[in-house]
Amino acid sequence: MKTNIYDAVKKSVTGYIDKVTEPRVVFKRQRQIKAFIGGLIRYIFLIGLCFVILFPTIQQILMALRAPGDVNNPAVIWIPENWSIQNIKISMIVLDYWRALVNTFRLSVIVMVLQLASTALAGYAFSRLKFKGSNILFILVILTIIIPPQALSLSQYLYFRDLRLIGKESSIYMMSGLGMGIRSGIFIYIFRQFFRGLPKELEESAMIDGASVFRTFWNVMLPNARGAMVTVGLFAFVWQWNDAYFVKIFEVSTEQFPLLTMELINAVTGLKAALLYTGAINLVGQDVWENPLYLALISNVSALLMMLPLLFMYLFVQKGFVESIERTGIVG
């Protein structure tokens, strides 16, 4: 009986050892361990970088929610002691926030649509409607990417002044509608690469079915280019939203048509005056607004207010954006 148990145990143990040390199992286990360690290192690395990216934003949001009196309270590092939206209220007054937000949104949406239209058409023509000299023309597109806008601004300004478009948003619309907006060259490049990557059979079968060139583009190719459209649309919107250069050169941001970027820059460069001028200063005591740290805090909150709508919208778009990279290579 005793020996039987001993035998049984020994048998099972050796069986187990045999099983464990069998080359195939060892190999499999080694691979599993390797994959696990690799995955762990990857996670640590990626999550670390994500932290670096998210850290300043989270910090700013928490900072914005402090009570104005707590600005240099050494006890407050992360979580505010007294929660308050006073800082945000003040920043909103300084920035003329809601009007500027609506205007910026309108400008960015219209520019996005115009950019999409002009660059998609040009990109399609460069990739699918080849003609003699189209490659030379495409080199010119690359040239528009390389030449800095500063080299062109003066003549463009004088040009728009003759057309009486200075100080009007239509100057920006004209730039983007004619494919010379913010980094339009890159968008044309992206669309060209994308359309080149689509199978030729699509176009050929459409042709045989009697579709015109435009119909082929509109009903067959464009729906297949959703990935590129999402990417270009996102970038066109975001870059216009963040743009301070063209808006400044063409004097688009005016008293009647305030834009967020210019309001932000103006407010930050003369914050005390802006506080006094808008009357926002009455919301806090003198001991608070005379503190330079508080002025810095307000400019940070203002920057945050400009970024938040973008972040919020990105939350909704990001799925489509990330998927668009996934499904189809932009680069053909």
Q: Which of 93, 121, 222, 283 binds another protein (CB under 8 A)?
A: 121
CB of 184 to another protein, least distance (A): 8
**DSSP per-residue letters across 175-234:** HHHTT-STTHHHHHHHHHHHHHHS-HHHHHHHHHTT--HHHIIIIIIHHHTHHHHHHHHH
**Position 255 contacts another protein (CB under 8 A):** no
Q: Which of residues 310-329 bind another protein (CB under 8 A)?
A: 310-311, 314, 318-319, 321-322, 325-326, 328-329
Tokens 């050494």, residue?
74
Angle at 56 between CA 326 and CA 232, to 5 degrees: 30
Q: How far apart are CA 264 and CA 298, in angstroms?
A: 11
* 191, 120 contact by CB (below 8 A): yes
| Binding range to another protein, per CB under 8 A, among 8-16, 79-87, 149-157, 276-284 | 149-157
Three-class SS of residue 97?
helix
**CA trace torsion 176, 182, 187, 189 (10° rounding):** 110
Q: How far apart are CA 203 and CA 209, in angstroms?
A: 10
CA distances from 71 to 62, 127, 197, 285, 300 (A): 12, 57, 55, 13, 12
**Position 59 contacts another protein (CB under 8 A):** yes
Three-class SS of residue 257?
coil
**Position 90 contacts another protein (CB under 8 A):** no
Q: Which of residues 152-211 bind another protein (CB under 8 A)?
A: 152-156, 158-159, 174-175, 177-180, 186, 188-189, 197, 204, 207-208
CA distances from 124 to 179, 181, 183 (A): 13, 18, 17
CB of 239 to another protein, least distance (A): 9
Q: Which of 129, 164, 218, 254 binds another protein (CB under 8 A)?
A: 129
| Binding range to another protein, per CB under 8 A, among 5-13, 22-30, 38-46, 276-284 | 38-46
| Binding range to another protein, per CB under 8 A, among 3-11, 80-88, 111-119, 277-285 | 111-119
CA distances from 294 to 76, 188, 202, 288, 323 (A): 14, 45, 61, 7, 42
| Binding range to another protein, per CB under 8 A, among 6-14, 17-25, 230-238, 250-258 | 230-238
CB of 98 to another protein, least distance (A): 18
**Position 77 contacts another protein (CB under 8 A):** yes
Nearer to another protein, 13 or 322 (CB): 322
CB of 331 to another protein, least distance (A): 4
* 216, 207 contact by CB (below 8 A): yes
CB of 297 to another protein, least distance (A): 6
Q: Which of residues 293-312 bind another protein (CB under 8 A)?
A: 293, 295-297, 299-300, 302-303, 306-307, 310-311
| Binding range to another protein, per CB under 8 A, among 4-12, 21-29, 124-132, 280-288 | 124-132
**Position 65 contacts another protein (CB under 8 A):** no
CB of 204 to another protein, least distance (A): 6
Q: φ, ψ for residue 182 (rounded to 5)?
A: -70, 115
- The pair of three-digit structure tokens given for residue 61, joined into one six-digit string: 């949001």
Q: Which of 3, 23, 24, 53 binds another protein (CB under 8 A)?
A: 53
